[in-house]
Copies of this chain bind each other. A is one copy, B any other.
Amino acid sequence: MSIRYISQKLALQIDEELMSSSGAFSLDQLMELAGLSCAQALAKSYPASSHRRVMVACGPGNQGGDGLVAARHLHMFRYKPTIYLPKPGSKDIYQRLLRQCENLNIPVLKDVNEFKKGLGESDVILDAIFGFSFHPPLRAPFHTVLSAITSTSLPIVSVDIPSGWSVTDGPQPLYTESDENGKTESVETFVPEVLVSLTVPKEGVRGFKGRHWLGGRFVPDDLAEKFELNLPEYEGVDQVVELPRIVE
Contacts and interface: CB of A to CB of B under 8 A. Distances in A.
Interface of A: 22-26, 28-29, 32-33, 39-40, 43-44, 72, 76-77, 93, 95-97, 99-100, 103-105, 217-218, 220-222, 234, 236-239
A24 B103 contact: yes
A97 B43 CA distance: 29
18 contacts: A22-B103, A23-B103, A24-B100, A26-B28, A26-B96, A28-B29, A29-B29, A29-B32, A39-B237, A40-B237, A43-B236, A43-B237, A44-B237, A72-B218, A77-B237, A103-B220, A103-B222, A104-B221
Given A24-B99, A77-B237, 13 more contacts: A23-B103, A24-B96, A28-B28, A39-B237, A44-B237, A76-B217, A76-B218, A100-B220, A103-B222, A104-B220, A104-B221, A105-B221, A237-B238
A234 B222 CA distance: 35
Contacts of A28: 26, 28-29, 32
For the complex of A and B, list the 7 residue pairs with the smallest distance between their C-beta atoms, beginning with the closest.
Answer: A28-B28, A24-B99, A24-B96, A40-B237, A103-B220, A26-B28, A29-B32
A122 B132 CA distance: 42
Contact of A32 (B23, B32, B43, B76): B32
Contact of A33 (B25, B32, B44, B221): B32
A24 B28 CA distance: 12
Nearest to A72: B218
Given A103-B220, A218-B76, A237-B77, A96 B43 contact: no
A33 B72 CA distance: 13
A23 B24 CA distance: 25
Contacts of A25: 96, 100
Contacts of A217: 76
A76 B217 CA distance: 7
B22 A99 contact: yes
Contacts of A26: 28, 93, 96
Nearest to A98: B24
A24 B99 CA distance: 6
B77 A236 contact: yes
